[in-house]
A and B are shown apart, each in its own frame.
Chain A
Amino acid sequence: MQLFKKDYSTYKDEELMRLYVKGDRKAFEEIYRRYEKFMVNFFYRKLWNDRIKSEDFTHDLFAKIIDKPESFDLNRNFKTWLFSVANNMCKNEYKKQEIRKNTSHEVPEGYEAKDGKQLADKEVDKNAFREQLKLELGKLNDKHREVFMLRHYDGLSLNEIAEALGINPGTVKSRLHNATKELASKLTIYRKTIL
């Protein structure tokens, strides 16, 4: 019996979607397993680190796929399509809240010590680095910051970023290069303390 069971983990995203369009629920479960964490963190980052809101948006995103799987173009890259849909949902939310320009929400907010114990020096330096990173990200141009976050936070490749944002891959490369150089030059001072 096990011989005939499909190993959905070996399927590509697009193939899974094709199977789900035909009515294979297991295919959708595999898709959900792959992108659940991605989407929750994406919304968490984009929506002011609001965990409840991020989960609600993640639910709505997958609900759209459940209700209208045919809305996905099978010739496209599923990952980039999923991120572009999520990005549009965030933009709509920005319009609702009219807080689009609040750059502080683009970077994960600060976090508290889990156990509440006295932090070690090294941990303090790391926290300082994170705070400085958020600060410097906030100072970046929106376009540069978005590319940088998609690359290093969400883990998308250059081509995937280009497709998700609908821009040229060369532009993505240029923006990423500029953002990385600028942040690296400003945060190098923490190298001696953290290392």
Chain B
Amino acid sequence: MNGNVEDIIKNKQFFELTQEELKLVGEYVQTEEEFDEMKWFLLNVGEAFAADKVEASADLKSRVMDRLAEPKREKGIWLNSVGAFLWTKEKQFYQQPVFQMGLAALLIVGFIFVSDPFGGMENEADLAQNLETEQDDTIEIKSSKEQEVSMDSVSSKLVPSRDDNDQSLALEQDREGELSNLEDFETTSDSRFYRSNELVGGVSANLEDQKLEEEDISGDMDVDELEMVDEVAPGTYSWTIEENEKKEKNVEVQNAPEQVEKVAGITAKKESRKKGKDKGFLGKKNREQAENKISTDVSSDDKYARNESDNQVTETINTNSATTVTNFDLNNQQTIAEKEGPMESYDAEEITDESDKTKFAESSTSKDAIGNKRDDAKTTSISIGASKELSSLFFTVK
């Protein structure tokens, strides 16, 4: 609009203006005099500016057109320069840098293949790999060992040893040593075996204490034997069931005959061992003696009974060799009375010398001691399943 006003003022005279144009130019001028002054000013300004304008030189146009004719410049021009360096046009083929550099690379690679300056490195690398493998095996042994130790420590907590403080102290030291290295493992295994027989085997184990200590059991460990979790040796059973009853009341009474049947099966297995088919932890001679003892202690005729009234639990274990009756007060968590019957057929055949008799007496004492420990076992509330307990004890007897 304003441009139109200026154009009107420049191109027309005041008397030529229409009413609409007069309204438009009224913003600038009101009278004819002012209209003429404005017209003169605008015309002279235009002339003044036109006189000041310059013409573009021909050089500018040629420069711009040259720029227009240039191919589009792309980024990464340095790659072109590298290419120009490697493939020089002016030089012969054998003089070009790319050819010479490739030839030099071939010579270096060929020299390496022929002379094999790093040949010894391969063997060293292999040796390093072997070392790592050995270390891994060691770690695995330790880890499995730690698991065995943990099981053993649990059984030791549930079934306290009857021996004196010196032996328990020695066992603790051995237990610490088990985690240290593989060499200690053998010693610890002997100790654990020794202690387990004391705890579980009762009479038969005590007869073989000294001999068992001298035997190396680490090399005779058999995987099949370790997996036989529920098959408990007879000597172990008579005490283990009783102890688990004390720890957890969830063990059913009907388990007893089944366990006895399994024990009979174990006895048959162990008889086959007598024929020299298998190597156990025990020496051949020692194993025969121990198994004879077990077969006389517990058989399929053994009976186990449990009567539970309001406040009392009466447990009766009837074996060939002894009858044990235990009354347990549930309210006070105490053993009211415990009786042990006579050893009818044992002393005549098995216990021949005085030292064995002494050990048998000690084992009976340890049985009493275990019975008296019921309260402790209950109050500590160690919730280890009966099968786990049985498995650990079975392992140690074997």
Give A residues with C-beta under 8 Å from B: 25, 28-29, 32, 36-37, 40-41, 44-45, 51, 54-55, 58-59, 62-63, 66-67, 108, 111, 126, 129-130, 133, 151-153, 157-158, 172-173, 176-177, 180-181, 183-184, 187-188, 190-191, 194-195
Interface majority SS on B: helix, strand, loop or mixed? helix
Residue of B nearest to A159 (CB): B3
Q: Do B68 and A188 have beta carbons less than 8 Å apart?
A: no
Q: Which residues of A contact B3 (CB under 8 A)?
A: 151, 157-158
Q: Which residues of A contact B2 (CB under 8 A)?
A: 158, 172-173, 176-177
Q: Which residues of B contact A28 (CB under 8 A)?
A: 68
Q: Do B53 and A62 have beta carbons less than 8 Å apart?
A: no
Q: Which residues of A contact B6 (CB under 8 A)?
A: 151, 180
Q: Do B27 and A108 have beta carbons less than 8 Å apart?
A: no
Q: Which residues of B contact A194 (CB under 8 A)?
A: 40, 44
Q: Do B52 and A108 have beta carbons less than 8 Å apart?
A: yes
Binds A, one of B58-66, B110-118, B189-197, B208-216: B58-66
Q: Do B37 and A133 have beta carbons less than 8 Å apart?
A: no
Give me the 9 closest cross-chain CB pairs, A-B, nearest first: A108-B52, A184-B41, A40-B56, A130-B48, A153-B49, A55-B60, A41-B53, A62-B64, A36-B56
Task: List B29-88 residues whose CB lies under 8 Å from chain A.
Answer: 37-38, 40-42, 44-49, 51-57, 59-61, 63-65, 67-69, 72-73
Q: Residue B28 at the A interface, CB < 8 A?
A: yes
User: Least Cβ distance of A182 to chain B in Å?
Assistant: 11
Q: Which residues of A contact B169 (CB under 8 A)?
A: none
User: Least Cβ distance of B29 to chain A in Å?
Assistant: 9
User: Least Cβ distance of A20 to chain B in Å?
Assistant: 9
Q: Do A152 and B46 have beta carbons less than 8 Å apart?
A: yes
Q: Which residues of B contact A184 (CB under 8 A)?
A: 37-38, 41-42
Q: Roughly how many angstroms separate A63 CA and B51 CA in the complex, as a whole number?
A: 28
Q: Which residues of B contact A180 (CB under 8 A)?
A: 6, 28, 38, 41-42
User: Least Cβ distance of A45 to chain B in Å?
Assistant: 8
Give B residues with C-beta under 8 Å from A: 1-3, 6, 27-28, 37-38, 40-42, 44-49, 51-57, 59-61, 63-65, 67-69, 72-73
Q: Do B51 and A130 have beta carbons less than 8 Å apart?
A: yes
Given contacts A173-B1, A176-B2, A184-B37, contact A40 B60 (CB under 8 A): yes
Q: Do B53 and A37 have beta carbons less than 8 Å apart?
A: yes
Task: Please count the residue pairs between chain A and chain B whose beta carbons lie under 8 angstroms apart in the complex.
Answer: 102
State which of B38, B48, B57, B59 has its C-beta within 8 Å of the C-beta of A133.
B48
Q: Do A66 and B28 have beta carbons less than 8 Å apart?
A: no
Between B1, B48, B68, the greatest number of chain A beta carbons within 10 A of the residue's beta carbon is seen for B48
Residue of A nearest to B69 (CB): A25
Q: Do A25 and B37 have beta carbons less than 8 Å apart?
A: no
Q: Do B28 and A181 have beta carbons less than 8 Å apart?
A: yes
Q: Roughly how many angstroms separate A173 CA and B4 CA in the complex, as a whole number?
A: 12
Q: Do A195 and B40 have beta carbons less than 8 Å apart?
A: yes
Q: Roughly how many angstroms separate A45 CA and B50 CA in the complex, as a whole number?
A: 12
Q: Which residues of A contact B60 (CB under 8 A)?
A: 36, 40, 55, 58-59
Given contacts A37-B53, A111-B52, A130-B51, contact A66 B67 (CB under 8 A): yes
Q: Which residues of B contact A36 (CB under 8 A)?
A: 56, 60-61
Residue of B nearest to A56 (CB): B60
Q: Given known contacts A25-B68, A59-B63, A194-B40, what 14 new A-B pairs fall within 8 Å (CB)?
A: A32-B65, A40-B54, A55-B56, A55-B59, A62-B67, A67-B73, A108-B49, A111-B51, A130-B52, A158-B3, A177-B27, A180-B6, A181-B28, A184-B38
User: Least Cβ distance of A2 to chain B in Å?
Assistant: 23
Q: Which residues of A contact B46 (CB under 8 A)?
A: 152
Residue of B nearest to A107 (CB): B52
State which of A63, A126, A191 has its C-beta within 8 Å of the C-beta of B48.
A126
Q: Do B55 and A37 have beta carbons less than 8 Å apart?
A: yes
Q: Do B37 and A126 have beta carbons less than 8 Å apart?
A: no
Residue of A nearest to B41 (CB): A184
Given contacts A58-B60, A66-B67, contact A191 B37 (CB under 8 A): yes
Q: Which residues of B contact A157 (CB under 8 A)?
A: 3
Q: Do A32 and B64 have beta carbons less than 8 Å apart?
A: yes
11 contacts between A and B (CB under 8 A): A32-B61, A62-B64, A67-B73, A130-B48, A151-B3, A152-B45, A152-B46, A177-B27, A184-B41, A191-B37, A194-B44
Q: Which residues of B contact A67 (CB under 8 A)?
A: 72-73
Q: Which residues of B contact A51 (CB under 8 A)?
A: 54
Q: Do A158 and B1 have beta carbons less than 8 Å apart?
A: yes
Q: Roughly how many angstroms separate A190 CA and B6 CA in the complex, as a whole number?
A: 20
Q: Which residues of A contact B38 (CB under 8 A)?
A: 180, 184
Q: Which residues of B contact A129 (CB under 8 A)?
A: 44, 48
Q: Do A152 and B54 have beta carbons less than 8 Å apart?
A: no
Q: Roughly how many angstroms separate A66 CA and B64 CA in the complex, as a whole number?
A: 9
Q: Do B28 and A177 have beta carbons less than 8 Å apart?
A: yes
Q: Do A152 and B49 have beta carbons less than 8 Å apart?
A: yes
Q: Roughly how many angstroms separate A181 CA and B46 CA in the complex, as a whole number?
A: 15
Q: Do A63 and B64 have beta carbons less than 8 Å apart?
A: yes
Q: Which residues of B contact A183 (CB under 8 A)?
A: 41, 45
Given contacts A108-B52, A184-B41, contact A29 B65 (CB under 8 A): yes
